[in-house]
Chain A
């Protein structure tokens, strides 16, 4: 029963501790919503989970095994949607998605093309199939970035402000895609300000894990 666990995670940025002693356990099919003020470390936590940022302390476990044993193998289970949409203005919508799905190859090779079409369909981008990236609005770009989730075989979705710039219809489609992914045993961790309607999702408030005010006494004796 694969689960994704964080134990006593701590992270610092530009020399300042952002959060400490952070734990969570995410069962298969689970969802975790990260809430917190700006700069409370939501994005940093997602980047630590994705493996982009090294935590200062603590461990991640996948399927009961520590991730550090084989970080590359674990990363195959990750699909990370960060702030950047990673869209090349010169390439068309289809070419952008085709490139990323070649870099993150879907499980089965056959039915590759209609998987791409299905991904575009999920986020209603079919009509924009051959439109170059530079002509996309920010909402459309976001939907193209999210469509990578559909083609990637990853079980864990790490979403950083996924709903930014999405209209209501697209928001519904995103929620539907998340529900479908969870139904298939996948997991979703999303940092978001706008309320996402995700059924029985766990909530994690970053403030709960703010670093303890450093004990002045500890500061003293270190000299």
Chain B
């Protein structure tokens, strides 16, 4: 376990030393969301109605933007080969890297989401549910995104390909993420939506390391 812990610690240290990446992702998140009032009009009720959807879609795109950071640097400098050969199973390595990625991407997004909620005049009462839903949803985005990032290693212009591979798979998380917040706003029970998000997270926790490791082994060949 120390091996995987070492990977998480190293990736966190790398992220802390290159803080600008994480900051850029959060700025992108807030800035993109802030564009909508200019497009849709500043009318408060209308913004409040689309707020959950905008927050989730922009969070999705922000995570998408940060996926390249997951494996590309390690692939290019040879670290990936050494990680594949290490006693730490590759599946665990993928999980460790995704966890580190989530800490440096998912959490900052959750922290920044209330700011956007206020910009969109979303009732403050729904904020806890929004945070909880994102807590369950953003790890799934990192997990599925890791598969896309691993599959495009060594591809011609892999970065352009990741969105096409990954976005269709993000749709269930998006649907239930938004519906959870909507339910909170309308006073409906929130539990079913959160349970569904948790279910998708569990499936991703199994599928992503397997598929990611298989993709990394192909990349190392």
Pairwise interchain contact A105-B3, C-beta atoms closer than 8 A? yes
Whether A75 touches B3, Cβ cut-off 8 Å, given contacts A52-B220, A85-B78, A91-B10, is no
Q: Give the interface residue-count category, chain B.
A: 20 to 34
Against A, the Cβ 8 Å flags (1 = close, 0 = not) of B69-86 are: 000011011110111111
Whether A103 touches B17, Cβ cut-off 8 Å, given contacts A52-B85, A54-B221, A80-B82, is no
B7 at the interface (CB under 8 A from A): yes
Q: B77: which of A76, A85, A95, A104 is its contact (CB, 8 Å)?
A: A85
Pairwise interchain contact A82-B78, C-beta atoms closer than 8 A? yes
Q: A53: which of B76, B77, B82, B221 is its contact (CB, 8 Å)?
A: B221
The residues of A that contact B13 with a CB separation of less than 8 Å are 90-91, 95
The residues of A that contact B10 with a CB separation of less than 8 Å are 88, 91, 99
Residue picked from A80, A84, A85, A104, most chain B C-beta under 10 Å: A84
Pairwise interchain contact B86-A52, C-beta atoms closer than 8 A? no
Q: How far is the CA of A91 from the CA of B13 in the complex (A)?
A: 8
Q: B82: which of A76, A83, A86 is its contact (CB, 8 Å)?
A: A86
A28 at the interface (CB under 8 A from B): no
B18 at the interface (CB under 8 A from A): yes
Q: How far is the CA of A84 from the CA of B10 in the complex (A)?
A: 18
> Nearest chain A CB to B33's CB is how many angstroms away?
30
When C-beta atoms are compared, the residue in chain A nearest to B75 turns out to be: A84
Q: How far is the CA of A27 from the CA of B13 in the complex (A)?
A: 42
A102 at the interface (CB under 8 A from B): yes
22 contacts between A and B (CB under 8 A): A52-B221, A53-B221, A72-B89, A75-B87, A76-B87, A80-B81, A82-B78, A84-B76, A84-B78, A84-B79, A85-B77, A86-B74, A86-B79, A88-B14, A88-B77, A88-B79, A90-B17, A99-B6, A102-B2, A102-B6, A103-B3, A104-B86
Q: A84-B79, A90-B17, A105-B87 are in contact. List 13 more A-B contacts (CB 8 A).
A: A52-B81, A85-B78, A86-B77, A86-B79, A90-B13, A90-B18, A91-B14, A99-B10, A100-B82, A102-B2, A103-B3, A103-B83, A104-B86
Chain A residues within CB distance 8 Å of chain B: 50-54, 72, 75-76, 78, 80, 82-88, 90-91, 95, 99-100, 102-105
Chain B residues within CB distance 8 Å of chain A: 2-3, 6-7, 10, 13-14, 17-18, 73-74, 76-79, 81-89, 220-221
